[in-house]
Structure 1
Amino acid sequence: MTTDDIFATTPFFRLAIGGNDLGTFQTCSGLGAQVEVETYAEGGNNSFDWQLPGRLTWSNITFTRPVTKETIKIARWFEQIVKQVQPKDGEIVALKPDRTPIISWQVLGIVPVRWQGPSFDPADSQAAVETLEIAHEGLKVS
């Protein structure tokens, strides 16, 4: 294994949507797709069922990070989006710990689903975390 063979165990993901850099996140979950499959039992052949592929659906993608100066980037993006929600293409880049790219995904037709800000509790010693969830029309590895 060489130094270029880095596994995707990175703690950083950079997100940009429609030309807006939304910063880096610690988690990115939901990169995936699912094909709906319809089972068809053919008459006269009791030992075989046809598996017919149907619609392809894409999972929502969720990002989380501690609240930082970059939180303002999401607020500004939401201000633009709220006026008129239009799907925009974007990019997710998995980064090594030194922030150099490992792999990137082009994300097509992104729309915001949910942003959740942090809960502040003085009795809780954990970092304040924000979450961003997006829906999209598809992914391409680049």
Structure 2
Amino acid sequence: MATPILGMRFSVLFMVGGAVPNPIDLRFAKVSGLEMTVETETVVEGGQNLYTQQLPQRISHGNLTLERGMVVGSPLNLEFNATFSAFKFAPCNVLVSLLAEDRAPLAAWLFMKAWPVRWATSDLDAGQPALVIDTMELAYGRMQILRV
């Protein structure tokens, strides 16, 4: 019987210029947006009232969203800052890997030509001792699902 796979062990690698960034930019608390959808067109046939035909049109996807505690001195922060302050874009590939208990990869998602579209910081509240969370959202050209 197969053991259920837990989604709590994962890594995120930003491959800027073919190189892997420093260890600060590997650790995230949450990753979302691992999805694709086939868009369809409904075709109604003349004289056929029992059903319609669904024809595939294209693949669509949302954005990749990453969350982590606020980090100072991160190269990824510099890339996001360049996008949002100087409107400079440097698309890169991002590899999200699901890891087994022994840290061996079980599955992966490769996001090609990813670039920042949103950067948000959690609310600051003097009445609550909570971590400051950065949320980073990336658009991308294509996603490739890799099963190990």
Which of the five TM-score ranges fits, normalised by the shorter chain?
A: 0.7 to 0.9
Residue among 8, 18, 32 paired with 1:29 = 32
The change in CA–CA distance for 1:6 and 1:46 in structure 2 (over 3 A counts) is: closer
Inter-partner Cα distance in structure 2 for 1:101 and 1:76: 28
Per-residue CA deviation, residues 43-75 of structure 1 (Å, 9 max, x unaligned), is: 011112110111211110111112245x62322
> Which residue identity lines up with residue 36 of structure 1 in the other structure?
E
Moved over 6 A (4+): none
> What aligned pairs does 1:28-47 form with structure 2 within 5 A after superposition?
28-47=31-50
Secondary structure of the residue aligned to 1:25 is: coil
Q: Is the 8 A contact 1:27 1:64 kept in 2?
A: yes
Q: Is the 8 A contact 1:26 1:64 kept in 2?
A: yes
Runs (5+) with no aligned partner, structure 1? none
Q: Is the 8 A contact 1:10 1:96 kept in 2?
A: no
Q: Is the 8 A contact 1:91 1:106 kept in 2?
A: yes
Q: Is the 8 A contact 2:35 2:62 kept in 1?
A: yes
Q: Is the 8 A contact 2:34 2:109 kept in 1?
A: no
2:137 — aligned with what?
133
> Which residue identity lines up with residue 14 of structure 1 in the other structure?
V
The change in CA–CA distance for 1:93 and 1:80 in structure 2 (over 3 A counts) is: farther
> What aligned pairs does 1:86-97 form with structure 2 within 5 A after superposition?
86-96=90-100
TM-score by length of 1: 0.79
Q: Is the 8 A contact 1:88 1:109 kept in 2?
A: yes
Per-residue deviation at 1:23? Answer: 1.9
Inter-partner Cα distance in structure 1 for 2:39 and 2:20: 33
Inter-partner Cα distance in structure 1 for 2:92 and 2:4: 30
1:72 — aligned with what?
74
TM-align CA RMSD? 2.6
Inter-partner Cα distance in structure 2 for 1:131 and 1:44: 52
Inter-partner Cα distance in structure 1 for 2:15 and 2:126: 34
Sequence identity percentage? 27
Runs (5+) with no aligned partner, structure 2? none
